[in-house]
Amino acid sequence: MPRPPKLEKISSAEALESARETRGLLVAPGALQNAAEFFRKYFPNQSAAIVADTKTFDIAGRTVLQVLQKSGIPCVQPHIFTDPKFYAAYNFVEELESKLKSHNAIPVAVGSGSINDVTKLASHRVNRTYMAVGTAASMDGYTASGASITYNDSKQTFGCPAPLAVLADTEILRRAPREMTASGYADLSAKLTAGADWIIADALGIEPIDAKAWQMAQAGLRNALGNPQKISDADAAAIGRLTEALMLGGFSMQWSNTSRPASGAEHQFSHLWDMQHHTYNGKAPSHGFKVGIATLTITALYEYLLTLPIEKLDVDSCCANWPTLADFEKQIRTRYASENFVDKVVEEFSAKYPTREVLRARLQKLSSVWLQLREDIRGQLIPYAELKSMLQTVGAPFESEQIGIARTRLRDSFVQAWYIRRRFTVLDIIYQTQLADQCLDHLFGGSGPLRA
C-alpha cells in the first residue's frame, strides 16, 4: 500500500548534511553580527563583495559591510543596484558579472529573491561560490539551485549552484514588509499540494518518493504553517520557523536534484501565469502570492476529487476516449497559436503523454489503490476552508481576483497548466480519468468553493 514516509523531526543541521551545495546555514536573531565569523568559516582568506540594491543595502548591507571590515576581512567596493526598476533580469546579471570580473572577491548577496537570483547566476558565470544574506522570508529560493531570471522577455530557470553559505537574521526578517513574509508563507504552503502530487506519483510508480527529501520538505511544514496569527504579528520565533522550513525546502531540492519536493500542480499555475507575463496593477504579483492562490485552487480540486468513487473508475471508457498525441498537439497549437513558447509546451506535454496501454495500466493501478491513496492524501492536505483562512490571516491573497486572475481565467488555467510541464500531478489525474469537466463544473459551480 502506498504511504508517504512517517515524518520525523529533522534539524537544519541534519538537512544541511544532505545538501549538495550549501555548507553553512545560520538563522538566528542578531545573526548579522556573526557575519564575519560565518564568512571566514566558509570562505577562509577571501575578500568579500557586498551585492545589494539601495533598499537592502540600507536594511542590512551596510551593517554586514561594517561587521566584515571591523574584523579585518578585506572588502571591495559594494555593488549596489540603484535602478528603481531592478528585478531578476538578465541585463542585471551581465552588469554584475562584468563587475565581478574586475576582482576576485566572494559575492555576498544581501537581499531576497531578485538579488539572490542575480548574484547566484553571475557568481556561477565567473566560477565563484557566494554567500547569501536574506532580508525577507519571502520564498524558498535562498537555498535552491538554479536562478529564475527574465531573459528575452520570459522567465527562465538557469542552472547554477545554490549559495555555499546562507545567513538570515530573524530580527531583520521580521521587520520585512508584511506582504513579503506572507509571500514566503504562501510559497511554503505549496508543499502541501506538491506533497500530495508526489504521493500519487509514487503510488502509481511514476516517481518514487525519496524518503530523505520528503523529510526535509515536509517535517517542519505543519509547525511552520501552524500559527498564522503569530506570523502576522511578526513573532520572532514564528518567523524563524517559517524561514527554516523555507531553507529546508531548498535543501530538499538540492538533495534530490529536482524541484519535485517543493513544486507540483500549484507551481505549474504560477509558471503558466509567468509565461503569460501576467501583471496586476502594473506589476507581476509575487511568486508566493501566485503560488498561494494556486495552492488553494488545487486544494479545492483535491477535496472534491477525494469524494469521487475512483475505485470504480471505468478504465475501458477512459482509454477508448483518450486522444492521440497528434490530437493533443493540434489542441495545444491552436490554444497557444500566438505564443512564442508553443514548441516548448508541445515538447513538455509529449514527454509525459501516455499511450493507451500505459494509460490502461496506470488507471487500473489508480482504481485499485484509490481507497488507501485517498486517506494518504487526506492526511497530507489542510482543508480548503482552513487553508484559505490561514492565508488570509498572514495577509496573503485568498481569492484569485486579488492577484488579477478572473474566475474564467482560473478555470482555463487548469488545462493550460497541465500542458506546460512534464511533471506528473493531480492535473494528469483529472484529465486522464476524464473527470476534469465534472471537477471544474463543481468547483466553479453554484455552490463550489471557487464560485465567483
C-alpha to C-alpha distances, 443 to 1, 29, 428, nearest whole angstrom: 30, 43, 17
326: cell is: 497528434
Question: Which residue's CB is nearer to Zn ion, number 2 or number 264?
Answer: 264
Q: Specify the residue, 128 or 241, whose C-beta has the smaller distance to Zn ion.
A: 241
Q: How far is the CB of 250 from Zn ion (least distance, A)?
A: 10
Query: How far does CA 403 lie from the centroid of its chain?
Result: 17
**Contacts (CB under 5 A) with Zn ion, residues 226-265:** none
In whole angstroms, the minimum distance from the beta carbon of 174 to Zn ion comes to: 21
CA–CA distances in Å: residue 249 to residues 12, 129, 347, 360: 10, 20, 28, 34
Selection from 194, 206, 218, 193 nearest residue 5 by Cα: 218
- In the complex with Zn ion, which residue's Cβ is closer, 265 or 366? 265
Residue nearest to Zn ion (CB): 187
Nearer residue to Zn ion within complex by CB, 267 or 362: 267
Q: Where are the alpha helices (DSSP H) in 177-235?
A: 178-203, 211-218, 221-225, 228-232
Tell the smallest beta-carbon distance from residue 116 to Zn ion (Å).
13
Residue 118's nearest CA partner among 126, 109, 106, 127 is 109
- Looking at residue 285, its amino acid is P
DSSP structure class, residue 382: P
Q: Under 8 Å CB-to-CB from 84, ≥6 apart: which residues? A: none
Q: How far is the CB of 81 from Zn ion (least distance, A)?
A: 23
- Which segments of 33-177 does DSSP mark as H helices, in order? 35-42, 54-56, 62-70, 90-100, 113-125, 170-173
Distances from the Cα of 61 to the Cαs of 78, 108, 297, 427, in angstroms?
A: 9, 9, 38, 43
Q: By C-alpha distance, which of 168, 157, 210 is closest to 64?
A: 168
H/E segment holding residue 80 = strand 79-81
Q: Cα separation of 19 and 10, whole Å?
A: 13
Closer to Zn ion by Cβ: residue 53 or 187: 187
**Residues 126 to 145 in contact with Zn ion, rule: CB under 5 A:** none
Residues numbered 29-58 forming contacts with Zn ion, rule: CB under 5 A: none
Nearer to Zn ion, 16 or 186 (CB): 186
Q: Please say which residue, 138 or 232, places its beta carbon nearer to Zn ion.
A: 138
Shortest Cβ 186–Zn ion spacing (Å):
9
Report, in Å, the least distance between residue 1 CB and Zn ion.
Answer: 30
Nearer to Zn ion, 79 or 421 (CB): 421
Residue 140 CB, shortest distance to Zn ion, in Å, is: 6
Q: How far is the CB of 137 from Zn ion (least distance, A)?
A: 13
Greatest C-alpha distance within the chain? 73
Q: Does 266 bind Zn ion (CB under 5 A)?
A: no
Minimum CB–partner distance for residue 145 and Zn ion (Å) = 13
- CB-side neighbour CA atoms (13 Å) of 286: 26
CB nearer to Zn ion: pick between 200 and 294: 294
Return d(Cα 140, Cα 123) in angstroms, integer.
19
Residue 50 or 391 having the CB closest to Zn ion: 391
- 147 - beta bridge partners? 158
Give the per-residue contact string, 186-225, with Zn ion (x = CB under 5 A; - = no): -x--------------------------------------
Tell which positions 366-425 bind Zn ion, by CB under 5 A: none
Residues in the interface with Zn ion (CB under 5 A) total 1
CB of 423 to Zn ion, least distance (A): 13
Cβ proximity to Zn ion: between 187 and 244 the closer is 187
Shortest Å, Cβ 144 to Zn ion: 9
Binding mask 171-190 vs Zn ion (x if CB under 5 A, - otherwise)? ----------------x---
Q: Which long-range contacts (CB under 8 A, 24 or more apart) does 444-448 make?
A: 444/407, 444/410, 444/411, 448/300, 448/304
How far apart, in whole angstroms, are the C-alpha atoms of residue 443 and residue 430? 13
* Chain contacts with Zn ion (rule: CB under 5 A): 187
